[in-house]
Structure 1
Amino acid sequence: MAIDIKQVNPHANTRISTGTSAKGTPAQTAPTNAAPTPQKSDSVSITPQAQQIQNVQTKMADMPEIDQKKVDAIKAAIAEGRYKIDPEKLASNIASLENDLKDLD
């Protein structure tokens, strides 16, 4: 988080007191003729990386849960030798994943 310290009120840390100090001498007071400076409101900026992380988290929250029946069926098909892999579809999916990951940089 960035803080703009150039616009800090120089009078914000000035102590004003009346009476005497701990040594018994009169305490110094801040000048009363100083013009009040307008106060700035705080602001926050979110980096592009933080926005990307937030978008990924939102997408992940929208993803469906794991379908355990489907996982079990695929495992059984692999074990029995019935599961066939389409190399073109696999290559296409890998390329798509790489494109998605490249966009996160």
Structure 2
Amino acid sequence: MSTATETAFTAGDATYRLTGDKVRAATAHLAPADSANPHPNRSWYALVGTHLYYVVDLVAEATGAADVRVKTARLALAELGFPVFALAWNTLLTQGHPGHTG
């Protein structure tokens, strides 16, 4: 599996560049999802080092982008080679969440 060293995405009217180094640096400013106080309503996470981080928070922190969509964040992180995971059950497993997959 080859991974990119940099990827670009659009959020709002701007294009942002994301690198693995920016992603790793962003983790210093975020509480990991496996901390004592995880957010209960988030479903997509990326593994960075030994911790899971919510994909939107991670990409927003790494780039300064506002209004990052879940699908954009998870695809950008996966393109950089970070393992991306979904927390899902019932119909989320069989049908997905339209706001995240469409």
Same fold? TM cut 0.5: no
TM-score class normalised by the smaller sequence: under 0.3
In the superposition, the TM-score normalised over structure 1's length comes to 0.24
In the superposition, the TM-score normalised over structure 2's length comes to 0.24
Q: Which has the higher helix share?
A: 1
Q: Which has the higher strand share?
A: 2
Q: Which structure has the higher relative contact order (CA within 8 Å, separation 6+)?
A: 2
